[in-house]
Structure 1
Amino acid sequence: MEEKLKLSPDSFEALPQAQEPDNEKIAAPSLTFVQDAWRRLKMNKGALISFWIIILMMIVAFGSSFFINHSTLVKSAPQYANLPAKIPGVPINGFNGKLKVAGQWVDEYKQNNVPTGKYFILGTDNLGHSLAQRILYGTKISLIVALVATFFDLTIGVAYGIISGWRGGRVDTVMQRIIEIISSIPSLVIVVLMLIVLRPGMTSIIAAIAISSWTTMARMIRAETLQLKSQEYVLAARSLGESPFKIAWKHLVPNLSSVIIIQTMYTIPTAIFFEAFLSFIGIGISSPETSLGVLLNDGQKNFQFLPYQMWYPAIVLCILMIAFNLLGDGLRDAFDPKSRR
């Protein structure tokens, strides 16, 4: 018989911690879906910078309501008309109160007998209004229009898309035909029709947005709902007797959150440009009220001699549009599981 193998107590000595084969180390903390999306968004420098620019512009625009009265924006001051920008301590021509006239730099503040200590950091328009104040107020109006478009996207668009995708069949067919009819009518035509009933201004713009802005969101939500309603967790909820409303709120909306956020970020710049375009061509907000479109319309009349009156609102509008578009691209990459790094 073979000799039995005898094991000594030394054979059972524990290995050093570093040599344990099953020694596992968690390399990174566990992250939720939102935390992981925020981590990937922070890796996109352009989107992150755009995010903070938008936050800053919203704080400044809406905070200006505390120190800018609407009456000061509509009350003309002809003695201060068409003054260039003047920033104390800045000796650069164009920002020191001087304007180029017939090839010579002329101090417009002295020529117009502006009191010492009175200056406008972005100049004035042809009625003597502070251009900086009007830009702040116009930015606030543009952001309000964007918030209104977002509201209709999140209410009508999301609800319409979920109902259409969830019900399916004839209900879905009828609801999609309604969307096609609405989408086939240009937004400009809707605004013109609104002008028959309403006067030009915020009301007609909001009415046009309420009628047509939510259709893209509804289509995207409907397409995602058609996929999600066949998932196991939705079928399990239906078999347990959950109502369609609870299923939509607890299961569909959380899984549609990435689509909703991304589409909202693209809706906002579209709404801002829509308002600016309507005001620019004269069928939106009109003087003495102000918006970025109104400022562009007023500035282009004097562009040959006073280009700053158009450049400043145009720069603010471009920054808003670019920031929202870059943030939208960043959110799309952050919430898309296929683009995980």
Structure 2
Amino acid sequence: MSWANQSSASEFLLLGLFWKPQQQQIIFALFLIMYLATVLGNLLIILAISTDTRLHTPMYFFLSNLSFVDLCLSTIIVPNMLTNHILSSQTISFPACLTQMYFFTLFIVIDNFFLAVMAYDRFVAVCHPLHYTTKMTPQLCALMVTGSWVISSGNALLHTLLMARLSFCADNRIPHFFCDVAALLKLSCSDTHINEIIINTEGILIMITPFVCILVSYICITTAVLRIPSTKGKWKAFSTCGSHLAVVSLFYGTIIAVYFSPSSSHSAEKDIAAAVMYTVVTPMLNPFIYSLRNKDMKGALKKLIGIFFSFEQRMDSKCHKGMS
């Protein structure tokens, strides 16, 4: 049975960010700049790590995967929102809405798992430095990344299939700028009891478990660092975790504000503002957080930019020779 036959609503209206007419052009330009910065920043991180052999370590392997997921997360949402603004259209078809919901759920959960995996990597590096290479083997790293993708894909597929069986008979206006699970459930005229049970059990479990693992990892890291006698040694140990801890705080801070705060404190504007943080702002900031605080990453980026400019100069010289 096709999706169209399962719902009397063939399309939805994404009401967006509650833009005022006089603010539309400014906000459009702002989101376009943030998206371009997200694409450029994350692509540079991926290219720098892949081209510099010094960065072929577990930590940077996980970072390149995180950058790829951040890039995808922003790409499934922002271009559609900007396109709708250009075309003065708020509509999105039911299949397209479910597809966007699937990939949003997929990438947000993978982000969650990758942050936990990176916390474990920092735990091993700080607490068991002599055994780091034997514990963090390429096979284990690949297994953790693959497992994150498999579990996240299954979770996203489950929520999408449960949503596809519902009917949407009345209001088709989504007070959001993308197809969020919670926003869609509020519009359904079917019994959403099963969906809510899955969200409140499996959904929360799959988000809370990595968060608990991150907390435990950093408690162990803090305990180990405090045992280091020299102040310089403590600072060096904490600095290796600073970037990751900043990203974790930014990501989970907005997630907790939206999904774990009292329902009485919720409003559409607050939820949308928080959603902008973890779908647009966080993917844009992550490359800057990791590169600005990391000497190896800054060196790799300078090397990559140098290669680009030298290639451009060679191409220019060839063009001049060809013209002469």
Bin of the TM-score, shorter chain as denominator length: 0.3 to 0.5
Tell me: higher relative CO, structure 1 or 2? Use CA pairs within 8 A at least 6 residues apart. 2
Q: TM-score, normalised by structure 2?
A: 0.32
Select the structure of larger CA radius of gyration.
Answer: 1
Q: TM-score, normalised by structure 1?
A: 0.31
